[in-house]
Structure 1
Amino acid sequence: MQIVSFARAGYTGEIVKVEADLRRGIPAIDIVGLPDGAVREARERMRVAIRNSGLDFPRERILINLSPADLKKEGGSFDLPIALGVLAASEGNVPEGEAILVLGELELSGTVRPVRGVLAAVARAQEAGIADFILPAENLEEARLLGAPARGARNLAEALNAYHEICSIRALCGSDAETEGSGDADGAKDISAENNAEEPRWRSYRLGYEDVRGQERLVRGLQIAAAGGHHLVAWGPPGCGKSLALGRFDCLLPDMDRKTALEATRIHSIAGTLEADFSNGSRALLSRPPFRQPHQNASLEGMIGGGKHCLPGEISLAHGGTLFLDEAAQFRSGVLQALRTPLETGTVTLSRAGKNETFPADFQLLMALNPCPCGHFGESGRVCTCGPEAVDRYWKRLAGPLLDRMDIRVPLSAPEGESFADPGRAPDTESLRREIDRARRMQRERGAVLNGKLAPGDIEKLCVLSESAQALFGKGMETARLSGRGGHGVLKVSRTIADMEGSVLIEEEHLMEAFQFRRWSGLLPDFLS
């Protein structure tokens, strides 16, 4: 059996062949194939781990080759495959035929430590036709998600036994035989079935919208955004409830479908951000849409991704979920402008060392900001200390092209005392979810993506207006002086509002509400009109 491992490089990564050659000479261990410091140190870890596991370490000169040679190998996940390669070579086991993927970091005692990126490694190996896996026991849940009959190893001795069993089964049954795991494949099927339901599933939240008072228009905008996958921007004075309402947006979203959940889990596996336990009983699968809220000091690399290891950034970690930029005008201008292409394509391509790596980045963007640097521009009863030029510079940090992609715009003011004190006027989260569920069900029945992601060619086919609505749309486009993207945004939002009411046609009232959510406040700078 040929031992292979995995090098994290972007979203897909690369399969790495691990070869060990023993020859006569002064005992020494050499590792070639562009290893980094952690991989070079594996020779000492695996030497001691083999001896402390009660196994014989070969006395010959050892050469370990990691191919392809031009790909940098990084991290501790190469410890276990290197150790098994050396032990197999010392037994005279010439690697050939079928490959087996091995991952794991070794402690000096021989204990196998978990590693990150296992889901990405197993997915890439399955694409390459590899069917056998030896992984750290703590990483088995990730392999199960893809139906891989992986064997878990808690220490080096268990890993070696698993390797011998796989070799014996292959020798007896031939290359087409399926490796017999210890019930892992069945576990994977159960998890797959659990997470492949077409109907959305909801989670119970301790915090909903019951205590968000006096901002009915904002809550309505968030409900429409959740129903159709639209981007939203809200602005208003400090303390009016922007961050409170937008920060609870994820409670309006149903679980991700299985395909998106696997993509999101793969990204978080590469980034090493998978949680230890989840409410659905799985230790690996992300069923809930991610909700990412980066700090205003986030760098371009932190937001988009990249760096030495070409890791995913915040926009990829938000794939399938939401990216919330609180105090959006405080982010660096270059960071904000870098969001424009991913918002259109749903992916981000990173270029590093002559290679391009593409990560999924299909997310909803929510932005909250003050109307000016001091926060009191246009607020009744308060004095704004910012001059007109300061207000212009403040909003121009976001720039028109990015704001033009925000289908829902919500101006806010401080809540009135009567609405703030009346508990009977508080939104009901379950009622909001029912209309969102109705809208998403209609979108699934049409077989299309969410309305917010509709391509221009699909808008004409799916956003069918009634006769009276057609006349209103033409007048509204002229009055509001909307661009082509702006007109499409109005149609997509009105389609979502109609779906929430179960209407096949877009009527006048749906279109009027969509136009209202497209308008900027008359107090804002002229370039936003």
Structure 2
Amino acid sequence: MESEICIYTFSPFGFEGSLVTVEVDLRRGIPAVDIVGLADGAVRESRERMRSAVINSGFDFPCERVLISLSPSDLKKEGAGFDLPLALAVLIQSKKNDFKFIEENIMVMGELELNGNLRPVRAVHAAAATAASSGIKMCIVPYENAEEARAAGNMKVFGAKNLTEAFSALSNAELFSSKKQIRNLNSLLVSEEGMIEKHGILFAPVEKGFEYGEIKNQKELIRAVQIAAAGGHNLLAYGAPGCGKTLSLQKFSALLPLLTPEESASVTRIHSIAGLLSKGSSIIRKPVFRQPHQTASIEGMCGGGSQCRPGEISLAHNGVLFLDEASEFKSSVLQMLRVPLESRTITISRAGRTTVYPADFQLLMSANPCPCGNFGSKEKICLCSARSVEQYWKKFSAPLLDRVDIRIRVDPERQSSGPSRTTDELREEIALAVSIQRQRQGKRNSRLLPSDIEKICITDNEAKKLLDEAAEKYEFSPRAAAGCLKVSRTIADMKGLKTINGECMKEAVLLRKNENLIAGML
């Protein structure tokens, strides 16, 4: 009986990628393997690896002329993940009269070694999710990628260690549901054992080096960091070298709750496409913290290349992008951040193809007050000219700074003495604010649209008066005024208040008006 099995594989490109159908025809002629369908160099080389792997696994390679078609034919096929699907498709065609194969559509990915063993490949999570959305229910991938594929959901996944195991699975559906192969999806979402729950919000245990209680004399900075974590607000900390701004911001991820399953799905897909998922991992639940070097290029930040790989801003999706010594980044890199900060996405176009990556990240920046770092210090002398200080701060254009709701000057000479609150204590108010935001609209306060602000950021008379006076005194733009409302809404949420009062608004204005301290330097 002729099998109705159909082999699909995946060609990664950008965030979406495409399913590829693998068809094989055996015909008379000089023994050879031909591949049609816009295959790149790595895919064309698959025929040699495939032939050796098939023979070294104990199978007979067809003596006929083998034609392999990859469709759609106008889509460029790239990557080493085509080895296994090509080998299985050839074996199915050559042995279709000897075996009864599973009568299912099946998605296959994997790179073959010459001895028949399988190597893990990237983009397996994206491939499994795309296949599941297309109605494909079965998947064969390398054993190291199996957890990654199962995390996509709605898929029966078989993790094969070699070509022999993968071929056996094609004729035995029970292998896909064996206890060694399948697990409860909830276990993939990270066991809640050991997690810390506050107000219904889950946090990961505090790791060594992420304890805020160890930081001394930085209460104002830690308060600003706490508010930023509670509402997802962008933050700029500036001050003299060694004042503690970098240390405080590098611990920021400890204040963030675990991602929801919906948030983690897109984050996992992006890291799968980039090949950054660790061996045997399934799904990312901890918010990502990315800290690129100051020499990063626009392509490194935005993404690109022949396959439109994700850049730093997409890898920081639903997480944090931290630019330490932000003034040392190229001006073009800093200005590039403006559109993604507003749209929460980035569109990449390469060679007539376009992809859209999600880029909903929280921006943290640290900077010195001047090139030498001593500007404004009472104890040290600044050797920078007025023009050099002006050029230094001009890298932070007004449109970029306007999108940063919290600006905090870190000055050890005016900071409160004593240790900061512990990470666990800071999480208490953050959890309350996050819980309220999720119940209210399902998005962070920093993401509120103008129409949302009118409904959610309800102020009393004192708060409204304070904002009006501050807007006039400090010449706030409409976006700056809206930023004050969003920050004050977060502060009110941290206190469990339904209405923004004058105290909340005053703190929000103080955090925003630090732009005038910057302006005073120019």
Query: How high is the TM-score relative to the length of structure 1?
Result: 0.92
- Alignment pair present for 1:432 and 2:426: yes
Query: Alpha carbons of 1:188 and 1:96: their partners in 2 closer, same or farther (altered >3 Å)?
Result: closer
Query: Alpha carbons of 1:504 and 1:523: their partners in 2 closer, same or farther (altered >3 Å)?
Result: closer
Cα distance, 1:400 vs structure 2: 0.8
The residue number in structure 2 matching 1:270 is 273
The residue number in structure 2 matching 1:175 is none
Q: Given the alignment, which residue of 311, 314, 317 partners 1:316?
A: 314
Q: Contact 1:105/1:112 (CA < 8 Å) preserved in 2? A: yes
Q: Given the alignment, which residue of 330, 334, 337 partners 1:336?
A: 334
Code of the aligned partner of 1:159: A
Tell me how far apart the structure 2 counterparts of residues 397 and 24 of structure 1 sit (CA, whole Å). Answer: 67
Query: Alpha carbons of 1:209 and 1:193: their partners in 2 closer, same or farther (altered >3 Å)?
Result: closer
- Alignment pair present for 1:109 and 2:115: yes
Q: Contact 1:292/1:318 (CA < 8 Å) preserved in 2? A: yes
The residue number in structure 2 matching 1:200 is 202
SS of the equivalent of 1:481 reads coil
Tell me how far apart the structure 2 counterparts of residues 189 and 325 of structure 1 sit (CA, whole Å). Answer: 35
Tell me how far apart the structure 2 counterparts of residues 78 and 95 of structure 1 sit (CA, whole Å). Answer: 20
- Alignment pair present for 1:476 and 2:470: yes
TM-align CA RMSD = 2.2
Query: How high is the TM-score relative to the length of structure 2?
Result: 0.93
The residue number in structure 1 matching 2:241 is 238
Return 5+ residue gaps in structure 2 as ranges: none
SS of the equivalent of 1:200 reads strand
Tell me how far apart the structure 2 counterparts of residues 48 and 410 of structure 1 sit (CA, whole Å). Answer: 62
Q: Contact 1:230/1:408 (CA < 8 Å) preserved in 2? A: yes
Cα distance, 1:445 vs structure 2: 2.3
Cα distance, 1:527 vs structure 2: 9.6
Q: Contact 1:214/1:415 (CA < 8 Å) preserved in 2? A: no
Tell me how far apart the structure 2 counterparts of residues 131 and 187 of structure 1 sit (CA, whole Å). Answer: 16
Code of the aligned partner of 1:154: K
Return 5+ residue gaps in structure 1 as ranges: 170-178, 278-282
Within 5 A, what are the aligned runs for 1:101-500? 101-147=107-153, 148-166=155-173, 181-183=177-179, 184-192=181-189, 199-207=201-209, 208-276=211-279, 283-415=281-413, 419=417, 422=418, 425-500=419-494
Tell me how far apart the structure 2 counterparts of residues 446 and 245 of structure 1 sit (CA, whole Å). Answer: 30
Code of the aligned partner of 1:248: K
Tell me how far apart the structure 2 counterparts of residues 92 and 162 of structure 1 sit (CA, whole Å). Answer: 15
Tell me how far apart the structure 2 counterparts of residues 418 and 190 of structure 1 sit (CA, whole Å). Answer: 44
Q: Contact 2:157/2:176 (CA < 8 Å) preserved in 1? A: no
Tell me how far apart the structure 2 counterparts of residues 288 and 343 of structure 1 sit (CA, whole Å). Answer: 21
Q: Contact 1:117/1:269 (CA < 8 Å) preserved in 2? A: yes
Q: Deviations over 1:211-247 (max 9, x none)?
A: 2112211100000000000000010011111111111
Query: Alpha carbons of 1:211 and 1:344: their partners in 2 closer, same or farther (altered >3 Å)?
Result: same
SS of the equivalent of 1:525 reads helix
Q: Contact 2:213/2:423 (CA < 8 Å) preserved in 1? A: yes
Q: Contact 1:240/1:415 (CA < 8 Å) preserved in 2? A: no
Tell me how far apart the structure 2 counterparts of residues 326 and 98 of structure 1 sit (CA, whole Å). Answer: 52
SS of the equivalent of 1:490 reads helix
SS of the equivalent of 1:246 reads helix
Code of the aligned partner of 1:273: L
The residue number in structure 2 matching 1:174 is none
Q: Contact 2:218/2:416 (CA < 8 Å) preserved in 1? A: no
Cα distance, 1:417 vs structure 2: 9.8
Cα distance, 1:457 vs structure 2: 0.6
Q: Deviations over 1:13-32 (max 9, x none)?
A: 00011111111111111112
Identity of aligned residues (%): 50
Tell me how far apart the structure 2 counterparts of residues 203 and 44 of structure 1 sit (CA, whole Å). Answer: 49
Code of the aligned partner of 1:107: E
Cα distance, 1:337 vs structure 2: 1.1
Cα distance, 1:204 vs structure 2: 1.9
Q: Contact 1:151/1:182 (CA < 8 Å) preserved in 2? A: no
Between stretches 224-233 and 66-75, larger displacement belongs to: 66-75
The residue number in structure 2 matching 1:172 is none
Query: Alpha carbons of 1:488 and 1:165: their partners in 2 closer, same or farther (altered >3 Å)?
Result: same
Code of the aligned partner of 1:338: M
SS of the equivalent of 2:407 reads strand
Tell me how far apart the structure 2 counterparts of residues 353 and 150 of structure 1 sit (CA, whole Å). Answer: 34
Code of the aligned partner of 1:187: N
The residue number in structure 2 matching 1:519 is 513
SS of the equivalent of 2:22 reads strand
Query: Alpha carbons of 1:161 and 1:481: their partners in 2 closer, same or farther (altered >3 Å)?
Result: same
The residue number in structure 1 matching 2:82 is 78
Cα distance, 1:99 vs structure 2: 2.0
Tell me how far apart the structure 2 counterparts of residues 342 and 25 of structure 1 sit (CA, whole Å). Answer: 56
